[in-house]
Structure 1
Amino acid sequence: MNRMTHLPDRLPARDRNDAAATAAPPPTAHRSRRPTSQQWAAWAFLAPVTVYLVLFYAYPLYRNFDLSLRHYTVRSFVQGDAPFTGLANYRAVFDDPTFAPALTHTVVFTAVCLFFQYAIGLALAVFFHQHFKLSATLRALFLVPWLLPLIVSASTWSWMLNSDSGVVNAALHAVGIGPVNWLTSPQWALTSVIIANIWIGVPFNLVVLYSGLQSIPHSLYEAAALDGASAWRRFWSITFPLLRPVSAITLLLGLVYTLKVFDIIWIMTKGGPADASTTFATWSYQLGFGSLLPDFGPGAAVGNLLVVAALVFGLVYLRVQRKQALA
């Protein structure tokens, strides 16, 4: 029995080492080194994006929020000793008589622009999806308003809608309609900037929605046509439902862009006449930089209202997308 017990000790040294190496578990250091290196690589790739977001998004948002909670003047803005006032700037904004018209104009401007930009862009996308001759050339020409600098587009529309020498009034005069004070009348100023912004935003909707149409299988249209579905029925039963995710992101991006439109309105009407085309974007600029005694705090407060509105709609979009993914 003892001889059987001590038999492994009589094995050659090389065999004993091989058996020990086989039986011993691998060192934990080698198992944990690879995940650690992968984590460091992940952080290395994530670091540039994180630094960019902190420097150009998080910090400006923090500074704007801090600005809205203090009483800043030109002197305190330079020296940095502005007193803390809490929500006084927000109360001043809500009590200002310009708040209600600016809110109304912002809602009307955003809603009307989004509706017509999406409707016209969708109609053009479906039209160009037919792949007729010169469709690519015409589609490229529709991108010109989107590619032009906004100051050029706004200046061009200001010239076209000029009351005395504009081509729009000249065309109306040719058909017997009197001149319209597009930019100087309180009844037409907001309409004028809406028309210009619709013209600028249609190409973006056209490009995104046309890309969405490209992903819809053509076999679905062939099957619907064999079943006797009309073109209108195919659009509402196939095209529109399958474009819903693309439409959602298109409308969200259009909403965020339209909420903060400033340059077009400022170049064409400067928010006037008599605040007839003032939105939150132009009002924020007027408060902060439009006078000899600027109110930086209320101007920042109005800007924060725009940020909150964009954030709310962004969260609504994410919630809708999550429900659609779970459905």
Structure 2
Amino acid sequence: MSGQAFNVMIVGQAGRLQYEAVLFAMSLALTTTNVRLFVAEPQQGDLWDSDPRIKDPEIRSILEDHGATFLPFENRHFGQSYPYGNKIEALLALPEAEPFVFFDTDTLVLSDLCAVPFDFARPTASLRREGTWPRIELYGPGYHDTWAALYHRFGLDFQSSLDPRWPDEYWQRYLYFNAGFFFYHCPRRFGQRFLDYALSIRDDPPPELVCQSLDPWLDQVALPLVIQSLGGGRDTLPGGALDGSVTCHYRTFPLLYAREDESVIRMLENIAAPNRIKRVLKQHEPLLRTLYQGRGWKARALFDRDALPRGEQGFRNRLKREGFWMR
């Protein structure tokens, strides 16, 4: 439970993720002690068209100066064709039998992560999600049949995964997470289970998935099955901490400015202000334009704080229409 030392893992590689990794590492170092940060780095190999490693020496130096340890790992099953699989394969490189929390790099740590009462024996993941999968077709299987087929594939208790507060065939009745964070007491066990389930679904999907796309959803399809199989669920962590007062999964910088609390913006602007950091982050055009050229505040001004869109798509559509969207 709370008070344990644990490891934190993000995936870092060339491109957008390396800049997000800098911000994550700086926010973690500013708020949290007694954790080890691993930046899992895919290595060059047959499954990549180009070398995915972080080659900028200044970015590597900044990450190390803020407590990061680089963790090289090999892609044997995913890679260029499905980079979301990095979070699965990287788990197998973490120290065995040591509690871990994984975060997507597009996350800021706002306060002490060690204050979160993790129960590492009962995993869960982010409930800040929308009903993105499955996409129900008119004459295809519904939510119930689609999810039930997956639970039955792996010999899991489907009925206990259901949330009776929601009606049949409504997406929130079914165990579904965003994969922006998850945790467990052993990364190797979690990672192997995650890999086994994801490969089974990808390579031999049940007939009920015939209408469904697994790209980019494969990790989020397998994740609730992994969590259910390891004794976790949707309610093993108090609400309001992760994806709340302790961390913010902002997804994109225009969304951060448009949607999040001003305290998140203050954190971002504070850690991005030193000249050494600024020189690096200005190389990433979304940060250059949104943060350093002030377009983020203009994007925020598009939205009435008392009448914000209910879903992420409402923010995206307005930002795109007004020319502020950048990934």
Instruction: Give the TM-score normalised by the residue count of structure 1.
Output: 0.24
Q: In proportion to residue count, which structure has more helix?
A: 1
**Higher RCO (CA < 8 A, seq sep 6+):** 1
Instruction: Give the TM-score normalised by the residue count of structure 2.
Output: 0.24
Q: Quick check: which has more Rg, 1 or 2?
A: 1
